[in-house]
Structure 1
Amino acid sequence: MTYHDVFINRTEQFCLGIEPESGRTYMSTPIRPGRSLVEFDHYFELDAASFELFQRDPQAARAFLERCLKGDVAPMVACP
């Protein structure tokens, strides 16, 4: 899989983008599991409406991001 970020929010530490092969949209954020010294980018699938909303209003993405960080949303994939 390849990923193409189209929106980067450095303050909240997330990116929005499109996986070109499938056309699926996502939010990615760095996550450091447990006591690991390595940080991994995790990718969480978004529906089209959320993808558009989060680009227009990054604050609206905060609740979804918090759910992702808590582990309440299953990631699409994790990449080192």
Structure 2
Amino acid sequence: MNPPMKCRFKIDFVSREHRFCLGVDRETGGYYLSTPVSGVNRAVEWEAYFSVDSGQFARFRADPSAADDFTEDCRTGRNKEILIYPR
């Protein structure tokens, strides 16, 4: 049984300005970046979690603006292959 999402993802860093969080996926031990995404009509917004490697994690934590292109790709569906949740 998978743990509830709030328990699965442990937040390590928050950038309100750049609208993302970084943390550890307790289920896999890997790193993630979460960011709000919305549907086509933008009527609904939800938090999506994407896998990142240790280098990306360190770089985005040290310089949040370095994640701008990556988070935009996540928000627009161009990083679906690394989507952790929701699937």
TM-based fold match above 0.5: yes
Aligned to 1:45: 51
CA drift of 1:44 comes to: 0.6
Gaps of 5+ in 2: none
* DSSP-derived class of the 1:76 partner: strand
2:84 pairs with 1:71:
no
Identity of aligned residues (%): 34
- When structure 1 is superposed on structure 2, of 28-37 and 13-22 the one drifting more is 28-37
TM-superposed CA distance for 1:61, in Å, is: 0.7
Matches within 5 A, 1:1-80: 1=3, 2-35=8-41, 37-74=43-80, 75-78=83-86
Structure 1 stretches of at least 4 aligned residues deviating more than 6 Å after TM superposition: none
1:15 to partner: Cα distance: 0.3
* Structure richer in helix, relative to its length: 2
Give the aligned residue type for 1:17.
G
RMSD: 1.6
Q: Could you list the runs of 5+ residues in structure 1 that have no partner in the other structure? A: none
Is residue 37–residue 76 contact of structure 2 (8 Å, CA) maintained in 1? no
1:17-74 CA-to-partner distances (Å, cap 9, x unmatched) read: 1011211101001112123643211001001100011000111111111111121101
